[in-house]
Structure 1
């Protein structure tokens, strides 16, 4: 399979509606998640950072289905969430990330089985399948599943107390009880919890077959050297060599398209950034069906620069973030959201 590259694209405010769920966006960064299945969403616990216990923020999503997928995965989207607390970002540790896979058959209760809405043709329209009684209530701040509502006006929903406070200070204090609409997509105000919003455009990688072959040979030689055996005295030097080789290769490949924010190669091999390379036994099997997971895509360093997360001292950072998904594309209960495996590399070999 070819490698596909993702690039962030600014979307004018008057066209931002095109990233809403009813239009099946190819990909988006930041803002509110565009839920493929708007009924059975990830739970609050699933979106809670295991370190600081705060709600994670929506980072990005990509629509990624192909003809080899089962019929129940006619539509397929992968979601990534990230904890905004920089203290939770540790070298070579992906515990501040969580990934979800969601799939739907062609015939479903949320989209036409004939064709998707084209925002350039129909313009801004409400979700034609919206059902207030079945669609999940969404947090007015983060767009995730909400279980609490404002006791005063009963119009605004929240996933947690922290987000209710954010919304109160941002907007709701002046509108509560004024017969405001409860639909959060009508608000033009952003908030500091959300990452900046971009569309994602996908293009073929221009890496030729010769370059790909050289990259594969370099990876093969690395593992052959390990298989042939080394002495304890050789270990430190070999580790440094492997790290340098991986970094140089990563830099050379990324520098051809420095503004790429993701690399997609389903069933392919990730582009390793350091010597902290995932081994097959580091990738746990699918927790739903028990099948092995395969590499699907990875994030690149350029995405970090678009998020506005630079801060003095410790900050959110990565060399690359890899996502591994179920090799059988198994079906979730109620066509909901299943967790997938995330692996992070940094330009360091220290692990805390």
Structure 2
């Protein structure tokens, strides 16, 4: 079966207070905890700065009983751009039965009916229908000897406040992990936006391709690549000409990247569990050695999703006086093939990511 990735695109600002939950797919804001997961802030392994939340993806796997959310964080220090040590990706899971037990402890808070079958092979959205319901879910936080959780506090955002969990006072030392409980006001935050989803094949044959053709023509004029109009990309004549043409800079990988995303240049995310990533520059020759096995169960990791260059322009600080930005080409996330999880765990599992710089960032400005 031909691989058809799911494409994530901007779908408006998040303006309503406390309107996002662990099953909300979003850009920026603060992470929304799966019930039972403890709130923690993380520090950059390079500069010790506090990592900023970049995206949240609700992605339960087909035939799995677990709710499953992945959060990506990054350091906004320019000196750390492009370095994987300045990023962190965390996977959180919880069984439906565990949520029911947690909700009983929280005075039987109502929950939206979100099921694993709403995702992956059978999915055509990322839980967006559940977001439209009137369910009110309060993430449960566990108290332990390492940290103390305070009351829920909203973020201050120009695009609209988003709920967060505040912590006070204590840092996680001992284990050497770059984790810390800090005052919410000290956490840098990007403006928050919804992500909507469609299959990549949905964009094939669309008539509204002026923006895509503009980008391709600019690239053709600058690099001397015979790209042609988007409508004729699949034709044999133009298609063969494109494949045989060599860009001036010799970067055929980037040329292929541009051609592939031309169907939807505004895509901010590509999702294809156990699929193939789209490299923006030369694929590392030792990519398989770079992907370490799962630290928890030892299983190999598989590609799950990647962040795209168009996301960069949306990552702006909630503080208008701040110059908080983040630069990258693409960020590829690899997760445990077995999606292992210890029942009752309150700590997310850290996964692996690969960061590639964009050789021509100005195309996406």
> What TM-score comes out, normalization by structure 1 length?
0.66
How far 1:308 sits from its partner (Å)?
2.4
* CA distance 1:32–1:344, change in 2 (3 Å): same
Whole-angstrom CA distance in 1 between matches of 2:112 and 2:330: 37
* CA distance 1:298–1:308, change in 2 (3 Å): same
Query: Does residue 285 of the first structure (1) align with residue 293 of the second (2)?
Result: yes
Contact 1:139/1:159 (<8 A) preserved = no
Whole-angstrom CA distance in 1 between matches of 2:356 and 2:139: 41
Contact 1:19/1:199 (<8 A) preserved = no
* CA distance 1:131–1:35, change in 2 (3 Å): closer
* Larger RCO, structures 1/2 (Cα 8 Å, 6+ apart): 1
Aligned to 2:279: 272
Aligned to 1:204: 199
How far 1:20 sits from its partner (Å)?
3.3
Structure 1 unmatched ranges of 5 or more = 150-157, 168-191, 215-239
How far 1:126 sits from its partner (Å)?
4.8
How far 1:314 sits from its partner (Å)?
12
Aligned to 1:137: 150
Query: Does residue 317 of the first structure (1) align with residue 319 of the second (2)?
Result: no
Contact 2:14/2:194 (<8 A) preserved = no
Contact 1:106/1:113 (<8 A) preserved = no
Aligned to 2:257: 250
Whole-angstrom CA distance in 1 between matches of 2:95 and 2:80: 37
Q: Deviations over 1:13-69 (max 9, x none)?
A: 24x543134xx32x01111211113x433644xx11011112111111111113233
Q: Deviations over 1:294-339 (max 9, x none)?
A: 0000000000000127x9x996311100000000110136333000
* CA distance 1:261–1:136, change in 2 (3 Å): same
Whole-angstrom CA distance in 2 between matches of 1:253 and 1:65: 26
Counting matched residue pairs gives 272
Structure 2 unmatched ranges of 5 or more = 104-109, 115-128, 156-163, 171-179, 205-232, 237-248, 361-365
Provide the secondary structure at the position in 2 that maps to 1:280. helix
Aligned to 1:60: 55
Corresponding residue to 1:146 among 167, 174, 189: 167
Query: Does residue 85 of the first structure (1) align with residue 106 of the second (2)?
Result: no
Whole-angstrom CA distance in 2 between matches of 1:315 and 1:115: 36
